[in-house]
Structure 1
Amino acid sequence: MTRDDVPQAAEFPEGQLADWRKLVDGVLKGAPFEKLVGKTYDGLKIEPLYQRAKDAAPVVGRSPAAPWQIMQRIDHPDAALANAQALTDLENGATGLALVFAAGSGAHGFGLEPSADAVAKVLKDVHVDAGMAIELQVGPQSRMAAIHVAEYVKTMGIDPAACNIRFGLDPLAAGAVWGRSPYTWDEIKVAVMSGIKGLAGLGFKGPFASADGRVIHDAGGSEVQELAFVLACGVAYLRAIEEAGVRFEQAQAMVYARLSADADQFLTMAKFRALRLLWARIEQACGLTPKPLFIAADTAWRMLTQRDPYVNMLRATMATFAAGLAGANAITVLPHTLALGLPDPFARRVARNTQLLLLEESNLAKVSDPAAGSGGVETLTSELSEAAWALFQETEKAGGAFAALQQGLFQGKVAATRKAREANIAKRRDVLTGVSEFPNLHEADVKVLEAKPITLAPYGAEKFRFASLSPMRLAVSFEQLRDKSDTKLMADGNRPKVFLANLGTPVDFMARATFAKSFFEAGGILAVDSEGFVDPAKLADAFKASGAELACLCSSDKVYAGQAQAAAKALQTASARAVYLAGRPTDAEAALRAAGVTGFVFASGDALATLDDAYRRMDVT
């Protein structure tokens, strides 16, 4: 044996978990170990360290070393301009087009006109039989788009079997978003099956029906809720297809899934892997030999921000990275300016190139399921699978997906998760970079295209009404405060201001002044910095000269003990509408409030409530 044959770490003793725990306990200094254990919104524990999973088999997704489909969103209301976008995308690296029609679940205000003429214009010079993928995103009002696409293929003399089209029929997702349905499930499935059998009869290979988990994710739901909803919808469509006389072996290829991918890398990876395992379990229960489920991914709508939208590029990159490594078959990156309006060519190019860079330069598709054997990802995959299966069983007991929506089963769980999520955002426990943390009040405007959205006629008379799963964005509450600030700036040339009343030396106040600046500017209140003060009178003069209406004391606890009360009284005398103190309330809270301190700003405090109160005190509406 040569030296090169000996593992480089052979001379070191093998690390043991118990040894690591001893080191951790020394750092914690008596604090409970549970402080290091996180939790998902499903209550699953996230341990700080996992051991390697032994004998873990890769979760089969794409074929070995096969790239995922680079889907580009086509949603411009003007069909001719949408066609120009599609051709540009295909010429510059996209391998598929996601045709988003108006009023579809993922349209987000825009979308194509679902007419035969518009379809023909959008697909002009697009070689739909040349190996590229097409995915339709339709809703009940735009359902005829699927028929128009099929008719276009026939008119052009193209063999339907040569086309790779996912038709995206999904009335369950549409009903969940709308919160109503004009038909019973028995009526709906007959219509769906009529469409599927018609398309299959023409020679299209599908898949035809989509089980869309984005509905849950967009509404603020959890990973378990999203997985269970996909399973419930997928099974509902499988049953409908089988009841229409199609053999399960054929039905197996007629259903596909769509999931949201967000910036939480490990949870996203575990979610995609879990869905494959869960669907294989369903296939086995149906007496089928499991085949890899086709899973399409969209980067998450709810994580997009209007403020500092360039950070959305980073979020989308992480989401694409996670979905790609977890075996997604197709990925659509939502352009970083979509929350502001219809994306321009630059935003579309960035969305496209995000995938190209990860595939062509980082070679992410070269390794199949690289997370296999990772203790953390394997554990999360297993726990998500178990919890999602339990919720799926609960849905089945309720009578299936449609009945569960009628009973509010999913809506109640999603609403609770959304409420918890919004509370953590308000307290900045869930950080939104560029919005709730590290805001930029001097950011330049971002360009979007001017386009008039298409308005479609109402669909059907309302027969059933239930709670809707309406989409949300996590950043909206902070963005609304920033809007107030912008309105004031346009009205009188000035933003709301808070004077950072720094006490002592920079060593004393710098950390809390930096925190306070980010805290207030997250709500659009411009922070006016200052030198350290000792004399309350000079502090009051500096406050008056700043033009601010609010003040925030910033220093160390030691300095606060000797100077905070006098400083607060001086600021109150100088007509400060509110005086805040950067730091947690202590035993001196009562004395500080008596001296004029209005409130305290600190990590995990309710930032939204404090900022709302600040605007109220300044009479800014």
Structure 2
Amino acid sequence: MTNPASATDLPFMEAFASPSLEQWRSAVEKVLKGADFEKRLVAQTADGIRIEPLYAAASPSARPARAEAGRWHVGARMDHPDPAEAHTLALADLEGGADSLVLSFAGARAARGYGLVADDVAALDTALDGVMLDLIRLRLDPAGGGRINALLVAALVERRGLAPDAVAIDFGMDPIGLLASEGRFAASWPEIGRRLAGTIDALRTRGFKGPFVTADARLYHEAGATEAQELGATMATAIAYLRALEAGGMALGEARDAVSFVLVADTDEFMTIAKFRAARLLWQRVQQACGLDPKPMVLNAETAWRSLTRRDPWVNLLRATVATFSAGVGGADSLTVLPFTAALGLPDAFARRTARNTQLVLLEEANLWRVADPAAGSGGFEALTRALCEQAWSKLQDLEREQHEGLGGIVAALANGHVQQGLARQRQTRIKAISTRREPITGTSEFPHLAEAPVGVLDIAPVKRVKPAMPTTKAAEQDQGALIDRLARGAVRADAVTPPAQGLNAEPLPSVRLAEPFEALRDKADALTKDRGQRPLVFLATLGPIADFSARAGFARNLFEAGGLAAPGHDGFSTGAATDIAALVAAYEASGARLACLCGSDAGYAAEGAAAAQALRKAGATVWLAGRPGDLEGPLNNAGVASFIFAGCDVIAALENAQEIASAETAAP
């Protein structure tokens, strides 16, 4: 890292005095004109971490970095159910610049109902035909039957005659993640740990280097987790694996080397960068607490599923760009960008190409990889990283204290509902922020596009998985190395299935996208439009000249269109400074709408609001008003105003009510 520039390097800087914090604060106070500094300029994250408007420069401290300097690995998902089609898409990804494939078998949560159907090595070989496994990285998505998926991939390597230590494969086994996402263990946790250790031992004996197990944060993120909750749960999962593998006879250092991580890169640039930096610090601290000499963590990233939208999905390209930048700056070893149409179905070649190119542009043109830690020394990032470490460590300790039927840690916290309850509280908080648009979603809750054209996805139905018949020989009692040999010779998935035993149950974590409440409203409005031939309509009853009503009319139109209701604009009905109430009512009657929303200035509401509301109510309208009524609420209610919409109101509830009122207008007269 270079030293700060000296005066000789930047001589022009001598012409400028360095302002003090007190001078800056004094200037800010003048601009605020008595407004509260804390409320206006200090924000808080979902974890309660303060975000100050100004930070002093920090001295970069030594922190763990990536094991490999240079570019992060560009990942592409391999999740088409048909092996031949999956092969075509994978080759296009690799030829287009990807150097890593994320193999998502059918049944993987991240496959979203799709996923590669490969019940034997032949099908897997077809999907990976022409893919040089010793020249790329392969990562398996956690899935039910993850042990079998790992053995199938190992069998393919052996069938092709490749040296296991020459391939880079992250086998992605994550039974704790399956407990969290599916709500069950197929056996007791000690037995699960024993099987996991046995499978890893078989793979290591063959020469595979791993990692073998994954601490996957995606399922917690999709269930509403904050950054600290995500980090705390992920670290607790990794610790549980360390304990289980050590109990299975593995040296603690080897157990550490068997673990990799998947974190989510979201649209909050500052917090995503801080989260990735904090993750490495936390894992270093865990290793130190275990008495190990710390090694760099294997940190994979994927862009956020919960932030994707089905409406105006092109905005997802921008979300992915912010997330990619943040993961790159934060120090991810590999990154997989979800294609912008992923929430609509299985992405086509074009969507996959844009996902690759989002990374390639930042790598090749922005050269983002050339600085190891761009955030080092930034007062803001260093402060957020430290604060997030503290919050996440506290969450980790909370999880470690949980107990359930002789179990402890994250497994107990999932089984007794502690994790689910904490995430549910945070999910409700976020839903409220989404509903009130304090957390806006561009293209969905803000600036919706009612005339958007549909985008293409692959025409393929989700996969229906059939559980294989139970084998006569318990696979768990077979030698796992022998199973690899049998699979390489043509055995099928069913031959490696383990019959379920008395296990552990938990409430599954939901997978929720933030835009879903608004998308449901849009879907309902679109169905009404299709059935009745006309979109549900709201009449904007504007008061005064354009300058008086344009701001609130724009606000109202934006709000109603977020629920799929049309709210056409117009030039108003002013006659000088006043409003032609008769012309306004006539225009309302001609529109055929049932819902009218008054839009004007506060002065206009005081002067004409009651009269306009009475006239519209007499014409049969349900009358709303855009803005906070203040002292006029009583008189306006008495005049016929039934509801008020304003910044901070519950938009979802308002739109549900508006749809009920407005949908009647599409009926035949």
The equivalent residue for 1:573 is 618
**Aligned pairs for 1:592-611 within 5 A:** 592-611=636-655
Task: State the Cα deviation string for residues 500-547 of structure 1 (Å, max 9, x = none).
Answer: 111111110111111111011011011122222212111010011122
SS of 2:567's equivalent in the other structure is strand
Secondary structure at the counterpart of residue 394 of structure 1: helix
Structure 1 residue 217, shift from structure 2 partner: 0.4
3-state SS, counterpart of residue 386 of structure 1: helix
- For residue 54 of structure 2, the aligned residue among 49, 52, 72 is 49
Query: Which letter maps to 1:43?
Result: G
SS at match of 2:211: coil
C-alpha displacement of 1:619 = 5.2
Aligned to 1:418: 427
Structure 1 residue matching 2:510: 3-state secondary structure: coil
- Matched letter for residue 513 of structure 2: R
Pairs within 5 Å for 1:426-465: 426-457=435-466, 460=500, 463-465=503-505
- The answer on 1:127 being equivalent to 2:126 is no
Question: Is the contact made by 1:102 and 1:142 (CA closer than 8 Å) also made in structure 2?
Answer: no
Aligned mate of 2:607, from 548, 562, 565: 562
CA contact (8 A) 2:417 2:506 kept: yes
C-alpha distance in 2 between matches for 1:441 and 1:462: 52
CA displacement at 1:269 relative to structure 2: 0.4
Q: Distance in 1 between matches of 2:254 and 2:35?
A: 58
Q: 592-601 or 142-151, which moves further after superposition?
A: 142-151
Q: How does 1:364-403 map to 2 (within 5 A)?
A: 364-398=368-402, 399-403=408-412
Give the structure 2 partner of residue 15 of structure 1. Answer: 19
Q: Which amino acid aligns with 1:456?
A: R
**Residues 333 and 352 of structure 1 are in contact (CA less than 8 Å); yes or no, is this contact kept in structure 2?**
yes
Partners of 1:226 and 1:593 lie apart in 2 by: 46
Q: Under a length normalisation based on structure 2, what TM-score does the superposition of the two structures give?
A: 0.90
For 1:535-572, what per-residue CA distance to the aligned partner results, in whole angstroms no more than 9, with x for missing partners?
A: 21110100111222211111110111111111111111
SS at match of 2:86: helix
Q: Any idea what the Cα deviations from partners look like across 1:356-379, whole Å, max 9, x if unmatched?
A: 101011000000110011111111
1:72 aligns with 2:76: yes
Residues 339-354 of structure 1: pairs in structure 2 closer than 5 A: 339-354=343-358
CA distance in 2, matches of 1:114, 1:410: 33
* Gap change, CA 1:5 and 1:491, over 3 Å in 2: closer
CA distances 1:51-75 after superposition (whole Å, capped 9, x unpaired): 11124335412533x1001000110
The equivalent position to 2:567 in structure 1, one of 524, 527, 530, is 527
Report the counterpart of residue 338 of structure 1 in structure 2.
Answer: 342
> Which ranges in structure 2 are unaligned for 5 or more consecutive residues?
1-5, 403-407, 468-498, 574-578
For the 8 Å contact 2:197–2:250, the answer to whether it is kept is no
> What residue is the counterpart of 1:180 in the other structure?
184
Q: Deviations over 1:118-141 (max 9, x none)?
A: 2121111111012x1000013124
Residue of structure 1 in register with 2:538 after alignment: 498
Distance 1:466 1:246 in 2: 28
Residue 50 of structure 1 aligns with an amino acid whose one-letter code is: Y
| Equivalent AA in structure 1 for residue 568 of structure 2 | V
Determine the C-alpha separation between the residues in 2 that align with 1:144 and 1:560: 69
Q: Which residue of 453, 457, 471 maps to 2:511?
A: 471
Residue 183 of structure 1 and its aligned partner are, at CA, apart by 2.0
SS of the counterpart of 2:15?
Answer: coil
**Deviation by residue 1:180-219 (Cα, 9 ceiling, x = unmatched):** 3332211111121121111111111000000001111011
Question: TM-score, normalising length from structure 1?
Answer: 0.97
Code of the aligned partner of 2:463: I
- Which amino acid is the alignment partner of residue 448 of structure 1? V
State the distance in 2 between where 1:199 and 1:583 align: 65
Aligned to 2:476: none
Contact in 1 for aligned 2:114/2:463 (Cα 8 Å) = yes
Shift of 1:146: 1.2
Q: For the residues of structure 2 that align with 1:3 and 1:614, how far apart are their CA atoms?
A: 63
Describe the shift of the 1:360–1:9 C-alpha distance in structure 2 as closer, same or farther (beyond 3 A): same
Q: Do the aligned partners of 1:189 and 1:240 also contact (CA within 8 Å) in 2?
A: yes
- Residue aligning to 2:413: 404
Letter in 1 for 2:66: G
Contact 1:180–1:464 at 8 Å: present in 2 too? yes
Matches within 5 A, 1:12-411: 12-35=16-39, 36-57=41-62, 59-64=64-69, 66-116=70-120, 117-130=122-135, 132-141=136-145, 143-398=147-402, 399-411=408-420
Distance 1:436 1:99 in 2: 34
- CA 1:462 to 1:474, structure 2 compared with 1: closer, same or farther past 3 Å? farther
Q: Hey, what's the Cα distance between the residues in 2 that align with 1:240 and 1:590?
A: 66
Equivalent residue, structure 2, for 1:612 = 656
- For 2:593, the aligned partner's letter is A
The corresponding residue for 2:483 is none
Superposition deviation, residue 288 in structure 1: 1.3
Show structure 1 runs of 5+ residues with no match. Answer: none
Structure 1 runs of 4+ with >6 Å offset: none
Q: 2:76 is aligned with what amino acid?
A: Q
| C-alpha RMSD of the superposition | 1.7
Question: How many residues in Structure 1 have an aligned counterpart in Structure 2?
Answer: 617
Please give the alpha-carbon distance, in whole angstroms, between the structure 2 residues aligned to 1:597 and 1:435: 27
Secondary structure in 2 aligned to 1:106? helix
1:587 to 626, 631, 647: 631
Once the two structures are overlaid, the 10-residue window that deviates more, 601-610 or 297-306, is 601-610
8 Å contact 1:115–1:144 — kept in the other structure?
A: no
Amino acid at match of 2:18: E
Matches of 2:296 and 2:608, distance apart in 1: 67
**1:456 shift after superposition:** 2.4
Query: Per the alignment, in what secondary structure is the counterpart of residue 252 of structure 1?
Result: helix
Q: Is the 8 A contact 1:499 1:552 kept in 2?
A: yes
Equivalent position of 2:592 in the other structure: 547
1:167-191 per-position Cα deviation (integer Å, ceiling 9, x unaligned): 0000111110112333221111112
Letter in 2 for 1:550: L
Would you say the 8 A contact 1:178–1:470 is kept in 2? no
Is the Cα contact below 8 Å between 1:114 and 1:144 reproduced in 2? no
Q: Following the alignment from structure 1 to structure 2, what is the Cα–Cα distance between the partners of residues 461 and 290?
A: 37
Amino acid at match of 2:443: G
**In the alignment, residue 456 of structure 2 is paired with which amino acid?**
K
Q: Percent identical across equivalent pairs?
A: 49
Aligned residue in 2 for 1:513: 553
**Which residue identity is paired with 1:138?**
P
